[in-house]
């Protein structure tokens, strides 16, 4: 019995010494690095440029933002659960984040679909992004590769979330009674937080209009 303890003690001591030795070696070693490539692919760059044009001065676009930079798990039942939730987002990133230019608060997340076939990794990522955005209450826009160069469509999608229209420049009249319309923000319901136009004669006139019905193409359904 005693022998076993001695052997065990020796083993433990040995592993400690070995660990210390190797860790020290690692510490002093200087690794070499090289540039992997541009921060975005050519396709992503084209999309980014279209996005930049769509957003203009009304937002700041940040690319490849680690999820845990802007999101953190809510209080969980226990610490372990919190760490699991945190691990889920720690290694993942958002393709594009549009922020308010003054406060840098996150306004909308844009997930860029490069048109690749669906594979398990891609499905997992999409599920995670949808779940994370939904639970954190951040609007998410999925933009496919086809949207890349269509600035007007991007604008349409973005208009509900950021101030693309300068209210003093945008004068709109009620289609029912001809009175000027005012911009309001939905306080509740499915479209909470979204802006819309309402007739200045409200409640006498009930006419409302989507905030983003400014652009020619009306065929694109809102996401």
Residues forming the site for Zn ion (CB under 5 A):
174, 176-177, 179, 199, 201, 205, 207
Smallest distance, Å, CB 174 to Zn ion?
3
Smallest distance, Å, CB 173 to Zn ion?
8
Q: Mutual orientation of helices 151-158 and 42-55 as an angle, nearest 10°?
A: 60
Instruction: Characterize 54-83 residue by residue with b for buried, 16 or more Cβ atoms within 10 angstroms of its Cβ, and e for exposed.
Output: bbeebbeeebebebbebbebeeeeeeeeee
62 near 96, Cβ under 8 Å? yes
Question: Phi and psi for 132 in degrees, rounded to 5?
Answer: -65, -45
98/108 Cα distance (integer angstroms): 5
- Give the CA distances from residue 169 to residues 5, 6, 93, 172, in Å, rounded to whole numbers and listed in that order: 83, 84, 36, 10
DSSP bridge partners of 62: 97
Smallest distance, Å, CB 197 to Zn ion?
10
Smallest distance, Å, CB 161 to Zn ion?
26
Smallest distance, Å, CB 179 to Zn ion?
5
Nearer to Zn ion, 108 or 174 (CB): 174
Nearer to Zn ion, 37 or 203 (CB): 203
Nearer to Zn ion, 86 or 208 (CB): 208
DSSP-derived pairing of the beta strands 106-113 and 140-144: parallel
Nearer to Zn ion, 72 or 182 (CB): 182
Nearer to Zn ion, 125 or 172 (CB): 172
Tokens encoding 3: 């022998």
């Amino acid at each position: 019995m005693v022998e076993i303890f001695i052997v065990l003690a020796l083993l433990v001591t040995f592993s400690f010494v070995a660990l210390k030795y190797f860790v020290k070696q690692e510490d002093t070693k200087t690794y070499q690095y090289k540039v992997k490539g541009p921060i975005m692919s050519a396709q992503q760059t084209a999309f980014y440029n279209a996005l930049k044009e769509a957003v203009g001065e009304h937002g700041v676009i940040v690319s490849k933002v680690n999820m845990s930079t802007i999101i953190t798990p809510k209080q969980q039942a226990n610490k372990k659960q919190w760490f699991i939730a945190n691990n889920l987002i720690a290694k993942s990133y958002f393709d594009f984040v549009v922020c308010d230019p003054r406060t840098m608060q996150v306004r909308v997340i844009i997930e860029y679909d490069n048109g690749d076939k669906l594979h398990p990794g891609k499905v997992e990522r999409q599920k995670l992004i949808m779940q994370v955005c939904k639970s954190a209450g951040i609007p998410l826009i999925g933009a496919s590769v086809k949207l890349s160069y269509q600035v007007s469509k991007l604008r349409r999608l973005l208009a509900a979330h950021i101030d693309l229209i300068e209210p003093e420049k945008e004068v709109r009249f009620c289609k029912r009674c001809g009175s000027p319309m005012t911009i309001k923000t939905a306080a509740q319901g499915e479209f909470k937080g979204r802006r819309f136009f309402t007739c200045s004669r409200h409640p006498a006139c009930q006419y409302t209009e989507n905030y983003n019905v400014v652009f020619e193409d009306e065929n694109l359904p809102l996401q």
